[in-house]
Amino acid sequence: MSPLAALAAAWLARVAAGPKVRYCADGPPSRQSIFFANHQSHLDFVVIWSVLPPEMRARTRPVAAKEYWTASAIRTYLSVEVFRAVLVDRANPSLSALRGEMEVLLAALDAGDSLILFPEGTRGSGDRIAPFRGGLDFLARERPDVDLVPILLDNLERIMPKGEFLPVPQLSTVIFGAPLHRRQDESKPDFLARARQAVIDLEPGHP
Amino acid sequence: MTIPIDRLDRELGWLMLGALIALVVASIAGAILARRATSEKGKATVANLNDRIRAWWVMCAVIAAAVLAGNAGSVVLFAAISFLALREFVTLIPIHHGDHRALLYLFFIVTPIQYWLLWTDWYGLFVIFIPVYAFLLLPARSAMAGDTADFLARTAAIQWALMICVYCVSHAPALLLLDIPDYIGENAKLLLFLVIVCESSDVFQYVWGKLFGKRKIAPSVSPNKTWEGFIGGVATATLIGALLWWATPFSPWQAAIMALVIALMGFAGGLTMSAIKRDRGVKDFGGLIAGHGGVLDRIDSLCFAAPVFFHLTRYFWHG
């Protein structure tokens, strides 16, 4: 990893997205976590990453789509060298391939790293948060000790809408929720619904 | 032409020393008030006051550093202020995806060109570049994107963002361009005069309003603006401006009138920007400056005062 480029990227993300950060009652995250957020733009993980405490930032890796983040030399450099992204291949939908991708994520967790992932799988359109895919459930079941931290992002889709490659600088919001864990008796759909609701509940004005 | 560096430096020093003394006095007053406050509401008000005073230390340090760095420092500072203000303003306006390219041009082409024109002393283009070229070409770029829903509202909001955050703000450092006989090389003090009068009008409107404010001026726009605060603040700023005549090319009376105009325009700016915030349903434009809100919350009065002060000075004093 190149720390200088990483620092520059975090600084640029803050300039472009002016993130206003709100933490839950416990303050900024300090334990190994899986951060999961609603997906609005390609800036999302950089912005989350840029507002983490520096010692957390060094040990936090975004989970990103391989086909997008290795499509050009610059993207490959950014994802592999700067952000140390865990690249996931979504092109091959077979069960064995999926299993292989999950093993990569577990290995990253076992190395002590935190992860940033977007369980909607794709960038949503508008305000609605799409149903969560199963990966979060799998990780939560396999590594029950890791904190699952919900994050709500706002205004990033206006800063960098789909199909654009330069951001129009504006202010955004990053809200961290209280960590949650998967209950042992909880079914997969129940847990995924609860995790999604935890993100929705962070919207201002929600209970 | 010999530049009276010595006089410039000494008067600039006096202005900065004055600001320093004002900050020390304010900090001491804030500490005393913090001890005296008893009620919950009083404590909250004093805590906010002390946040504001601490932020003033930082803002004064930034302005002093920029002015001491010479004209380049001032131009870079106000270009940065334009950028931060624009970022806050665009957050609140009803843009669509179709405006993205126009907004990219606004941020990364129009704004740098405006400050480049300032830097190269190209006055003729500086004053018309945004109202003529940017105001015509940016909406055309939005129109090319093909989305006509709310087109007029979007276009108007983008133009207003450019007007307030870039065109108006750039007129503060434009004071450095003026060639005033017997004042060559001293224009930095004119810029400080504008900033000091404008901001002290804000501060004293707040102070007089907190102490004696009763009759509200426009409660549906800004519940904190009272006639008592307005009159006390404008009068105090006018007096401060008159007392600073020695740092300007003005006589004491002229300095008082200029200060009055700055304070009145500043009030108009604060009121107008409050109406925008009210319309968009927010209390502050941002949160960059603790106790004050965003950059735009702090410079709303300066935005309106700067172009008027610039043109009055240019019309009557420019050689």
What pLDDT score was predicted for residue B103? 97
Q: What is the pLDDT of residues B10-20, one digit of tens each?
A: 899 999 999 99
HSE-CB at B21 with a 13 A cutoff on CA atoms is 6
**Is A142 inside a domain boundary?**
yes
Cα A76 from chain centre: 18
A206: in domain: no
* Residue type at position B192: L
Residue B288: list chain A partners with CB under 8 A: 18
> Distances from the Cα of A144 to the Cαs of A108, A182, A184, B38, B71, in angstroms?
15, 7, 9, 49, 59
Asked if B100 lies within 8 A of A169 by C-beta distance, the reply is: no
The pLDDT of residue B1: 40
Beta bridge partners of A25: none
What share of residues in chain A are helix, strand, coil (percent, to 5)? 40, 15, 45
User: If you average pLDDT over residues B286-307, what whole number do you get?
Assistant: 92
CA distance A59 to B14: 51
From the CA of B244, how many Å to the nearest CA of chain A? 37
Q: How far apart are CA A130 and CA B240, in angstroms?
A: 59
Work out the pLDDT band at B184, boundaries 50, 70, 90: confident
pLDDT in tens, B237-296: 999 999 999 999 999 999 999 999 999 999 999 999 999 999 999 999 998 888 889 999
Q: Which pLDDT value is given to residue B2?
A: 45
Give residue A123's pLDDT. Answer: 72
Window from B3-7, B79-83, B181-185, B270-274 with minimum mean pLDDT? B3-7
Q: What integer pLDDT is reported at residue A126 of this predicted model? A: 57
Mean pLDDT of B161-177: 96
Q: Which residues pair with A115 in a beta bridge?
A: A34, A61
Does the beta-carbon distance from A170 to B91 stay under 8 Å? yes
**What pLDDT shows up at residue B4?**
47
A127 assigned to some structural domain: yes
Assess if residue A207 is contained within a domain: no
Mutate which of A40, A166, A171, A175 to test chain B, going by most B C-beta atoms within 10 A? A171
B70-119 confidence digits (pLDDT tens): 899 999 999 999 999 999 999 999 999 999 999 999 999 999 999 999 99
DSSP letter assigned to residue B185: T
Q: Domain locations in chain B?
A: 71-170
Measured distance between the N- and C-terminal CA atoms of chain A, rounded to whole angstroms? 41
Please give the Cα distance from B87 to B92 (Å, whole number): 9
Distance from CA of B104 to the nearest CA of A (A): 6
Per residue in A144-189, pLDDT tens? 999 999 999 999 999 999 889 899 999 999 999 999 999 989 999 9
Answer whether A161 sits within 8 Å of B91, measured CB to CB.
no
Average pLDDT, chain A: 89
Q: Which residues contact A133 (CB under 8 A, 6 or more apart)?
A: A119, A120, A121, A192
Confidence of residue B203 (pLDDT cuts 50, 70, 90): very high
At B133, is the pLDDT very low, low, confident or very high (cuts 50, 70, 90)?
A: very high
State the Rg of chain B over Cα: 20
Task: Name the residue range of residue A70's domain.
Answer: 3-200
SS3 at position A64: strand
Q: Kindly tell me if the per-residue pLDDT of A75 is higher than 80.
A: yes
Whole-complex ipTM:
0.89
> Hey, is the C-beta of A18 within 8 angstroms of any chain B C-beta?
yes
Interface A-B: count of C-beta contacts within 8 A = 33
How far is the C-alpha of A82 from the C-alpha of A75, rounded, in Å?
10
Q: Tell if the CB–CB gap between A166 and B104 is shorter than 8 Å.
A: yes
CATH number, domain containing residue A10:
3.40.1130.10
Residue whose token pair is 């190209």 = B122
Mean pLDDT value of segment B141-167: 96
Cα–Cα distance list, B126 to B65, B84, B133, B175, B306 (Å):
25, 21, 11, 12, 15
Give me the number of domains chain A comprises.
1
Backbone CA torsion sign across A117, A118, A122, A126: negative
Spatial distance between the Cα atoms of B158 and B222, rounded to a whole number of angstroms: 24
Does residue A90 have a pLDDT over 50?
yes
DSSP string spanning A75-125? HHIIIIIIS--EEE--S---HHHHHHHHHHHHHHHHTT-EEEE-TTSS---
What are B217's two structure tokens?
């001026």
Spatial separation of the C-alpha atoms in residues A68 and A165, rounded to whole Å: 13
Name the 3-class secondary structure at A2.
coil
pLDDT tens across B25-55, in order?
999 999 999 998 888 888 888 999 999 999 9
Q: Copy the structure tokens of residue B265.
A: 């325009």
To probe the interface with A, which of B84, B91, B165, B285 has the most A CB atoms within 10 Å?
B91
